[in-house]
Amino acid sequence: MKASLLVIDDDVENCNKIESHLENSGYQVYTASNGNLGLEVLTQQKIDLVLCDLVLSKYISEPDASADDVLYRIKQSYPQVPVLVVSDTKSINLVAKALQAGADGFIVKPIVDAVILEHLIQHNLDQVNLEKQNLEYQNHLESVNAELRKRLDELNSDQQAGRQVQLRMLPNPLKTAQLEISHSIKPSLILSGDFVDYFPLDDQHYAFYLADVAGHGASSAFVTVLLKNLTYRLKRNLKRGSSSDLFQPVSVLERMNQELLDTGCSKHLTIVYGVFNITSRQLNYSIGGHLPMPILYSHSESEGKGKAEYLIGKGMPVGLFNDARYNDYIIKLPEYFSLSVFSDGVLELISQPTLALKEQYLLNLIEQEEGNHQRIIQALSLDSDHSFQDDVALLTVVGV
């Protein structure tokens, strides 16, 4: 069966003719000789389309569509059911009124060509099906969008919670009589792939590192948890006397490299790890594929103006190669100095066209701001609400 149709017509011969043709075409056909009977059929059967004689719709005597009006009542109770009016050519003005009142089409009687009638019926049924499909698709989209909004809210909530955990992992500013260490991290997303940590090893030695995990978001932030966990275990081993790896920058990078490879998470990072000896004024450090290199700003009270220069060093990124090799570098620190360590996101903030010019810009900035952490932050607008393409981190160590 194609569909269920209702024919309302008091002309028995015409009604039987229409019923016979439509049934032969595969339709389920119900008939009614007046409007009231037609409305009863609608309450009892699922009707897909109504053919109604125009005279029976009472538009002749009640053009304002009263409660007795068949067309009006059908459209009020069954708005999704198309109604086609059947009329002779003498009632064309009434047909126009019927169309204005909600009729979906009309056909002139006597119906000579039943194919035209069937075509009009099928056109309206197709239109109803199309509207039904559109409504179902719209409801589906609304359901999908609602679910997506729910998932995004959950993801945002999870990321906010993760952000709080990440912030809790970061160290508080450190200040001693000989050393001050501070940091700032500006994430491009809620979670950051940049991470810093610093802590005392004993009364004379202080360790620090700045790591820049490749990528953004939750997966990169997860690696920062691994780093924090590793340094916690190394600090515990140092306290127990079972390992002194934290004093050896190369050993730390080798441990990080192997642990990251063992996770199989396909994540790598660049890093600067160093140890200050405040008694000997010495810095021992190692580089894991990091860019830009740390900048040492030094000055003396006698000379007045300070000078900024990049530390030397090279090494493979951490977490990429099983046979990665790292090197130890040792420098003697001046009496007054500031060491600035950036993640590579800072290079995105500098408009210079080449890497060499960007690096020179950073040197000039450090000299201009005399290695002062807060002034550098302000100069780079890291304290603003602007969004950034990449995570940006700055760790500053000041010798006093």
One digit per residue, the tens of pLDDT, for the chain of length 400 reads: 679 999 998 888 888 888 988 998 899 999 998 888 888 999 999 999 999 887 765 543 444 433 347 888 888 899 999 999 887 766 677 777 778 878 888 888 777 677 888 889 999 999 999 988 999 999 988 888 888 787 767 766 766 766 777 778 889 999 999 999 999 998 877 778 889 999 999 999 999 999 999 877 777 888 888 899 999 999 999 999 999 999 999 999 999 999 999 988 889 999 999 999 999 999 999 999 999 999 999 986 666 678 999 999 999 999 999 999 999 999 999 989 999 999 999 999 999 999 999 999 999 999 999 999 999 999 999 888 777 888 899 999 999 8
- Cis peptide before 110, with omega less than 30 degrees from 0? yes
CB 190, CB 162: distance < 8 Å = yes
Q: What is the pLDDT of residue 27?
A: 92
pLDDT of residue 91: 64
What is the phi-psi region of residue 112: left when phi exceeds 0, alpha when psi lies from -120 to 50, beta otherwise?
A: alpha
Q: How far apart are CA 369 and CA 297, in angstroms?
A: 10
Question: Reduced to 3 states, what is the DSSP secondary structure of residue 114?
Answer: helix
User: Using CA atoms, how far apart are residues 72 and 66, in angstroms rounded to an integer?
Assistant: 7
- As a whole number of angstroms, the distance between CA 193 and CA 165 comes to 13
Q: Is 377 helix (H, G, I), strand (E, B) or coil?
A: helix
Tens of pLDDT, residues 257-269: 999 999 888 899 9
Encoding tokens for residue 69?
A: 């009006």
The length of the chain, given as a count of residues: 400
Q: What is the pLDDT of residue 221?
A: 82
Residues 246, 136: Cα–Cα separation, whole Å = 63
Helix locations, the chain, DSSP H: 12-24, 35-44, 70-77, 92-101, 114-169, 217-240, 249-263, 355-368, 373-379
CA triplet 104, 107, 111: central angle to 5 degrees?
A: 150
- DSSP H or E stretch at residue 342: strand 336-342
pLDDT per position as a tens digit, 47-67: 999 998 877 655 434 444 333
Q: Give the model's pLDDT for residue 62.
A: 44
Residue 163's pLDDT is what? 72
Q: Give the pair of three-digit tokens for residue 315.
A: 């090494």
Cα separation values, 183 from 133, 313, 339, 343, Å: 57, 22, 12, 11
pLDDT on residue 277: 96
Q: Give the DSSP letter string of 25-74.
A: TT-EEEEESSHHHHHHHHHHS--SEEEEETGGGTTTT-TT--TT-HHHHH
Res 347: pLDDT: 94
Give residue 11's pLDDT: 83
